[in-house]
Amino acid sequence: MSAAEARVIRLLMELRRAGVTDPRVLGAIERVPREMFVSSAFSDQAWENSALPIGCGQTISQPLVVGLMTQELRVGDRMKVLEIGTGSGYQSAILAQLCRRLYTVERHRPLLKEAEQRFKALRIHNITFKHGDGSRGWPEQAPFDRIMVTAAAHDVPPALVEQLKPGGIMVLPVGDESFQDLLRVTRTEDGMDIHPILDVRFVPLVEGIPEG
């Protein structure tokens, strides 16, 4: 076994011990080359269980958080999924392995451009992306079976709940800069059910798009 293969296996074992047990999720993490989603300065740390900087003051999430969020989302292979906060595109690539089509929105254009190139290089063809403010969701493409938000909002954004199908699930971090809860929200006939999963630390969900 090469050193690179050993690093992948070590990470998968660590994730499994920490509660990521769904073989589809572990399989997706094994297949998506995380080193392609970080700058070359960090490629030797790509298979460590840590968040890393990706430019524009943003971060690629820790693999454990990606694994747990993806597992909690309970994605099926016929589903239409919305992701808010494309960032490096790593979480998008993982979700794209598990669903029929992924729609992803990012407010920093340079990050979106880089992510787009990665999807092309990896021949991932079931991702549709958009530059914009994801706190409003993607009304033209709604409703969605699943929604994942990878930046922290102060409250559950009502526009996103509205764009979920009845019975649909959204996973998102909610809270302020210092304390956030990762929530699983299920849309019901007359509102939503909220189930806390764990404490997390994400960059904030920011409304509007940056100048320039």
At residue 169, φ and ψ (nearest 5 deg) are -120, 140
CA distance 92 to 149: 11
- Asked if residue 133 binds ligand SAH (CB under 6 A), the reply is yes
CA distance 118 to 86: 12
Sign of CA dihedral 197, 201, 206, 211: negative
Structure tokens at 7: 């690093």
- Select which of 61, 88, 92, 135 is catalytic: 61
In the residue annotation, 61 being an active-site residue is answered as yes
Member of 8, 11, 26, 88 binding ligand SAH (CB under 6 A): 88
Structure tokens at 175: 């809270």
Give the residue nearest to ligand SAH (CB): 87
Member of 15, 28, 34, 58 binding ligand SAH (CB under 6 A): 58
Give the shortest CB-144-to-ligand SAH separation in angstroms.
15
Stretch of residues binding ligand SAH (CB under 6 A), selected from 20-28, 39-47, 83-91, 182-190 = 83-91
Residue ranges in 2-98 assigned as alpha helix (H) = 3-17, 23-31, 63-73, 90-98
Stretch of residues binding ligand SAH (CB under 6 A), selected from 16-24, 85-93, 118-126, 178-186 = 85-93
Stretch of residues binding ligand SAH (CB under 6 A), selected from 26-34, 101-109, 119-127, 174-182 = 101-109
43: CB partners within 8 A, 6+ apart: 35
Give the shortest CB-194-to-ligand SAH separation in angstroms.
21
Question: What residues between 145 and 204 interact with ligand SAH by CB under 6 A?
Answer: 150-151, 203
What crossing angle do the helices spanning 3-17 and 23-31 adopt, rounded to 10°? 150
Q: Which helix (H) or strand (E) covers residue 83, if one does?
A: strand 80-84
The smaller minimum CB distance to ligand SAH, of residues 111 and 164, is found at: 111
Q: How many of the other CB atoms lie within 10 Å of CB of 173?
A: 25
Catalytic sites, residue numbers: 61
Interface with ligand SAH (CB under 6 A) = 54, 58-61, 84-85, 87-88, 90-91, 105-108, 111, 133-135, 150-151, 203, 205-207
